[in-house]
Chains A and B, each alone.
Chain A
Amino acid sequence: MARKSPEVNAGSMADIAFLLLIFFLVTTTIETDSGINRKLPPMEDVIDPPIIKERNIFTVVVNKNNDILVEEKPMQLRDVRSAAVKFLDNGGGVGEEACDYCQGERDTSSSDNPDKAIISLKNDRETDYKVYISVQNELVAAYNELRDREFLRLYPNQRMTFVEANKLYSDPRTSPKEKLKLKPKLDVLKKMYPQKLSEAEPSKINN
């Protein structure tokens, strides 16, 4: 009979594993970052800036005291979203510029159609970042609200909103086949309500 090899004592294995476990527990940060995506304008100046009608611009100004001015009138943050929706969805244009899916008031002194409508966000150098982000968030929410509405109207079979569809599209776990199906639908919506949000360079005037 072969000599019995001595048994290794595995009693301390649990201790070692625990030690490693605690190390990884402490160093782990599982959450992934998320935030508001923006695209900055390129540096070179546009030689021939397009002429934009005053009624197609929705000006939002955040001053150094963190007060919000929308179209030159003071406004509370909670009203910004509905004001932006009203402006984007106005559809006041006629003829070629008419907007057949808009459900707004068709006010002639507001935007012609969502493609023409531009939101201009201006801030002071002393504006708080968190207020700025809140306003950005509300303006993006206005676009998302309209896109959701139209997505549900156009594609009721999808049983999801635009935001959910967009999330599904950007999820790496979604199959390429499904992505291919989603992409044209998302593109239609992005064309219907293009996100034209301009971040103007801040005023340096101290008023």
Chain B
Amino acid sequence: MSKFRKKKSGEQQAINTASLPDIVFMLLFFFMVATVMRDNTLMVTNTLPAADQVQKLDKKDRVIYIYAGQPSERYQKKYGDQPRIQLNDKFSVVSDVGAYILAERATKREELQNVLTTSLKVDGETNMGLITDIKQELRKVNALKINYTTRIGDYTQNK
């Protein structure tokens, strides 16, 4: 008869937490799948300008990134505060861009080598001179598809 004994009403029942790991694992798997690891540590300030007539960038394996902007505060002592180019994890000069593009292109699969896009992630405050120089270098190595990577937003935000 003890099976059907009524519980004392005053006693609080403990919440069953047996399914908690399942829920957490579910979340974990979602984030594991959705994660894109940052492969570059930014060493420059990188406030991208806003634009709304944008197209999505191609798949990640078809994109080469070039960063440019003022060096971050902790690098300013060593590198000054003039805008610089960052390729992979180091500061570079304009003449390095061509070699970098060729090296990156060589690491990609052969069928992708003709469809690569160069993504220019440039800080909004940079002067166009630097970008023009980069563009000239890209033309020299025949990397003609470029993408001015931007934030999505109205142009009035570019103040």
Known A-B contacts A43-B140, A128-B125; the reply to A25 vs B31 at CB < 8 A is: yes
Residues in chain A within 8 A of chain B (CB atoms): 10, 13-14, 17-18, 20-21, 24-25, 27-30, 32-43, 77, 123-134, 136-138, 140-141, 144, 163, 166-167, 170, 199, 201-202
Which residue of chain B lies nearest to A62 when distances are taken between CB atoms in the complex? B128
A37 to B152, CA, bound (A): 14
Whether A170 lies near B56 (C-beta < 8 A) is yes
Q: How many A-B residue pairs have CB under 8 A?
A: 162
Interface size on B, residues (CB 8 A): 54
Cβ contact of B148, chosen from A127, A133, A144, cutoff 8 A: A133
Contacting residues, chain A, for B158 (C-beta < 8 A): 130-131, 133-134
Contacting residues, chain B, for A140 (C-beta < 8 A): 53
A19 to B117, CA, bound (A): 37
Contacting residues, chain A, for B129 (C-beta < 8 A): 125-126, 202
A13 to B19, CA, bound (A): 11
Known A-B contacts A35-B119, A36-B148, A137-B51; the reply to A128 vs B28 at CB < 8 A is: no
Known A-B contacts A10-B21, A43-B139, A43-B142; the reply to A21 vs B123 at CB < 8 A is: no
Which residue of chain A lies nearest to B144 when distances are taken between CB atoms in the complex? A40
Whether A36 lies near B53 (C-beta < 8 A) is yes
Interface centre among A18, A27, A132 (most CB of B within 10 A): A132
Whether A133 lies near B150 (C-beta < 8 A) is yes
Contacting residues, chain B, for A128 (C-beta < 8 A): 124-128
A137 to B143, CA, bound (A): 22
A77 to B157, CA, bound (A): 12
Contacting residues, chain A, for B143 (C-beta < 8 A): 40
Whether A137 lies near B37 (C-beta < 8 A) is no
Between A and B, 18 residue pairs with Cβ closer than 8 Å are: A14-B24, A21-B31, A24-B32, A27-B35, A35-B57, A36-B53, A36-B55, A37-B117, A39-B146, A40-B146, A129-B131, A130-B158, A133-B124, A134-B158, A136-B51, A144-B53, A167-B55, A199-B135
A24 to B34, CA, bound (A): 9
A130 to B69, CA, bound (A): 12
Whether A35 lies near B55 (C-beta < 8 A) is yes
User: B134 CB to closest chain A CB, in angstroms?
Assistant: 10
Known A-B contacts A123-B128, A125-B128, A125-B129; the reply to A35 vs B54 at CB < 8 A is: yes
Contacting residues, chain A, for B128 (C-beta < 8 A): 123-129, 132, 202
